[in-house]
Amino acid sequence: PAHTGTRTVMTRAMSPKAVSALKDGFKAEAEALVERLLDLREFDAVAELAEKFPLSVFPRAVGLSDPDRDMLLGYGSLVFNALGPDNELRRRAFANATEINAWIAEHCDRAALTPGGFGDTIYQAADNGDLSEQEAGLLVRSLLSAGVDTTVAGIGAAIHCFATNPDQYADLVENPTLARQAFEEVLRYVSPVHAFFRTANCDTEVAGFAIPDGAKIHCCLGAANLDPEKWPEAHRFDIRRRPVGHLAFGTGVHGCVGQTVARQEAEAVLTALAARVATIELTGEPAWRPNNALRSLDRLPVRLSPR
């Protein structure tokens, strides 16, 4: 019941109407960024595109007036590496946890947020008695814990998919209205959040295996999204596929509450690229960033050719 209440507040704050209001700003930001990248011609698509775009638009949508790139990325690393064993990745991510958590708490405080953003709407719910002031602060914080690194990973994966599948990018250039559908296929194919965890709340059975009440369940979203029984030619990247039912955003009552924003961001980027960029080519070997829960690129050297 407590989850239902907070979920209702979050869904209202990030309603289709609220997200739609961001569309023109996302579009303008993406077009300006692509123009700058065309001037560079060769660059690291992780640092200059996959990280730069979400970090420029999403924190402002939340209501942060002075987002700090290193703090936000450090916080995402802390959150997602916590979803794993106490290994070196987790320990390294937690090395600066005190400083990062203090920065996040300060910038998610009501007084620090600009009016009209997602954060402001959440605090208004506290004014209406839908939740406490403390809960509001934690919900604003959750936007930054789940809404930055995931989108960075998704956009980076999209650029990688198109650089390694030039025929699919040519199809997008010819049919830019496929941008949203193409991103869904990226999510299915790569699964940026490739694993998550759940706790069984009763004794049950899945595929003949007994799962006792209270057991921790490791959900392999990436494996589900490549299940050949669900997806014909599952290991082929195809932007004309309609991957309805992929699990990249989770499902049910715990499905990603910010998925509409992520889709809006990715669509803005892919549409801007299709309009101005003829080809995307790799100029070096991509490197993946080790993480306990995310599949995300660390480096992606590319070259853009203008249309």
pLDDT digits 0-9 by tens, 98-142: 999 999 999 999 999 999 999 999 999 999 999 999 999 999 999
Where the chain has pLDDT below 50, the residues are none
Tokens of 42: 């060769």
Prediction pTM value? 0.95
Question: Is residue 198 a contact partner of residue 219, using CB atoms and an 8 Å limit?
Answer: yes
pLDDT at 2: 83
pLDDT at 197: 84
Closest residue by Cα to residue 53 from 281, 278, 266, 224: 266
Angle at 264 between CA 261 and CA 270, to 5 degrees: 140
Q: What type of residue is 244?
A: V
pLDDT at 281: 98
d(CA 297, CA 44): 11
Strands of the 42-44 sheet, one edge to the other: 42-44, 301-306, 277-282
pLDDT at 160: 98
pLDDT at 253: 85
